[in-house]
Structure 1
Amino acid sequence: MRFFIAVAEEGSLTNAAERRLYTAQPSLSRQIRDLELEVGVKLLERKPRGVALTPAGRVFLDHARLALMQVEAACEAARRTEQPEKGKFVVGFLAGQEVVWLSEALRILREEAPDVEIILSTKSSPELADALMQGKVDVALLRRETPTAGLAFIFLISEPLVVIMPNDHRLAARRAVRPQDLAREIFISPARLAPVLRAVINDYAAKVGITLKQNYDAENITGGMSLVASTGGLTLLPRYAQNMLIPSVIARPLHGEVPTIDLMMAYNRSNTSALLKQFLSRVDELVDRGTQKQSLLQRLEAR
């Protein structure tokens, strides 16, 4: 996976072999072929100048990055068993938002406190709000949940919702989906674990005057995509979900005025952590870098 990530980021087998991996190109090519055989799909395709990711490769790349981060975290945790106990700082993420925000958040935290153990917690938004109120998480990226006694929220970005549908759906050929089209299809609704998203969708449906056929509830983003693929239905998700698309589904924008959902950073006002204060002082930097990365991912997706 390290070899695959290097080739994907360099856009060239030669450059990846010489600049990043210090190995021979034929050996690197064999590693990539072995990986594609293991995964069962083609991840890269050769171009006149270098290589390009296939749709499956784009999906695999995001998961591969997260997997390597988890491997590194596991190695670090194993090494810590032989070292004295040190401070901990817990950062919470909505599933999938790590792709955009994790690397920059870790960079800032390591610069501020290199000896502090950083623990990552991926949960639903209500679960993250609960964990913040209970003091189990120091800071989290989530929705503006209610009730949230004692929590402070900082606005990060506002994301438009996009339509998720099967690759072979009759609406897949359209550049944008009209609200009236949604009303004619099976609709996969966010479950109780995403009440803010559900409220945004319901408000949008009322505003445009449609009734959604909410036949199924999805427990999470991955479950929602699986239901879309298996039922032939549609769902609405924040645009960042495009980073997690499974190969059998695609995303399309909505036509007209598009509903949006806010991503917030939250912390408990009673938390006296010095690292939390240092981290919050650099929120603007986090937003700038995160927004840049999100724009890059969107351009790659558009290709």
Structure 2
Amino acid sequence: MRYARTAILRGSIAAAADELNVAASAVSVAIDQAEEAFGITLVTRARAKGISPTSAGRVILRRMEDLLDRYDAMLSDGAEMRTSLSGVLKIGYYAPIAPAFLPKIVKAMMTENPGLSLALEECDNARAQEGLLGGSFDVILFVSDAPVPQIVVERLIHAPTYCLCSAGHAFAGRTSVTLSELADEPLILLDRPVAKSHYLDLLESSGKPVSVVATVNSTEMVRALVGAGLGCSMLNMRPAPDLTYAGDGTVCLPINDSAGGLALSLGHVPGPRRRVVQAFAEACHAFFETPEGQALIVDG
């Protein structure tokens, strides 16, 4: 299984042989033996192009990794070694303010498990799900409005949509605003999948024409433009500081006549999970139940 796993991950029998310090024929035989044992084709082979996993091969790869993790833990000496986490945890995330919470979630895991490393990739919602199903990610953080059916979804937190205005705006002294009032303002929209259409649907429900003065694909740029006084915006999660990169103040206000919001969720594939994925999921749930996690949303 180690030989077959390494070959699949490297996409090459020769590269796997170099890494494992064995003959290429040994890796090739191992793949043949694995395919015979499972009764399915795990990889397709092409001359000069290496190998690539079949759809069944990707499923078996995850199960092999889980088995090898458990096997390594069983062989470790002492209770501390048996419970430690190791290897690479690959996380794909579609969460514009992930830097506000993800480091806090993984810090304890990293500190307590020196053998653990992370591979983080910011992506859009579709890429996150495709990467999970394709084996690029072990787990994803994403907006679960319409998840791919093959993905197991665990909701972490519901984030109501709120209004963002500058500290000098007339709204800043208020406790809330309405959709109708917001529709009268020049608007700066976050142009990211799922988010933009969600905000436009909410604004259209006010029955008023809206004036979008800028669309931006970065949450921090949205905050910077709002902080500079160029308009108001709508977002769902907020970072801890009210100041933008430019040093301008912003204010977050509930929208009191809107039930709209987006759910931040964990996604993983069905079946047994690696211990490190389970530990990460538990850490995420625990964090969003704390006051610090709840402070990331604006709830009227």
| 2:177 aligned with 1:158 | no
Q: Check the 8 A contact 1:97/1:240 in 2, yes or no.
A: no
Whole-Å Cα distance in 2 between the matches of residues 92 and 212 of structure 1?
34
Q: Check the 8 A contact 1:183/1:211 in 2, yes or no.
A: yes
Alignment correspondent of 2:263: 262
Alignment correspondent of 2:100: 99
Alignment correspondent of 1:225: 223
- Given the superposition, is the C-alpha separation of residues 265 and 197 from structure 1 closer, same or farther in structure 2, using an over 3 Å criterion? same
Q: Check the 8 A contact 1:104/1:290 in 2, yes or no.
A: no
- Deviation string 1:119-143 (CA, Å, 9 cap, x unpaired) is 2333444443343233222112111
Alignment correspondent of 2:176: 176
Q: Which amino acid aligns with 2:224?
A: S
Q: Check the 8 A contact 1:243/1:297 in 2, yes or no.
A: no
SS in 2 for 1:133: helix
Alignment correspondent of 1:17: none
Post-superposition offset of 1:226: 2.2
| 2:241 aligned with 1:240 | no
Whole-Å Cα distance in 2 between the matches of residues 257 and 201 of structure 1?
11
Whole-Å Cα distance in 2 between the matches of residues 210 and 287 of structure 1?
39
Structure with greater proportional helix content: 1
Alignment correspondent of 2:279: 279
Alignment correspondent of 2:292: 294
Consecutive unaligned residues in structure 1, runs of 5 or more: 1-85
Q: What is the root-mean-square deviation of aligned Cα atoms in Å?
A: 3.3
Whole-Å Cα distance in 2 between the matches of residues 241 and 209 of structure 1?
31
Alignment correspondent of 2:117: 117
Alignment correspondent of 1:59: none
Whole-Å Cα distance in 2 between the matches of residues 260 and 213 of structure 1?
21
Whole-Å Cα distance in 2 between the matches of residues 264 and 217 of structure 1?
25
TM-score, normalised via structure 2 length: 0.59
The count of residues paired between Structure 1 and Structure 2 equals 210
Post-superposition offset of 1:91: 2.1
Consecutive unaligned residues in structure 2, runs of 5 or more: 1-85
Post-superposition offset of 1:169: 1.5
Q: Check the 8 A contact 2:163/2:254 in 1, yes or no.
A: yes
Q: Which amino acid aligns with 1:104?
A: I
Post-superposition offset of 1:235: 0.6
Alignment correspondent of 1:40: none
Percent identity reads 16
Rg larger in structure: 2
- Given the superposition, is the C-alpha separation of residues 231 and 201 from structure 1 closer, same or farther in structure 2, using an over 3 Å criterion? same
SS in 1 for 2:286: helix
Q: Which amino acid aligns with 1:129?
A: Q
Q: Check the 8 A contact 2:124/2:193 in 1, yes or no.
A: no
Whole-Å Cα distance in 1 between the matches of residues 130 and 241 of structure 2?
26
- Per mean C-alpha deviation after superposition, the further-off stretch among 115-124 and 231-240 is 115-124
Q: Which amino acid aligns with 2:119?
A: I
Whole-Å Cα distance in 2 between the matches of residues 277 and 229 of structure 1?
38
- Given the superposition, is the C-alpha separation of residues 147 and 226 from structure 1 closer, same or farther in structure 2, using an over 3 Å criterion? same
Post-superposition offset of 1:155: 0.9
- Given the superposition, is the C-alpha separation of residues 123 and 245 from structure 1 closer, same or farther in structure 2, using an over 3 Å criterion? farther
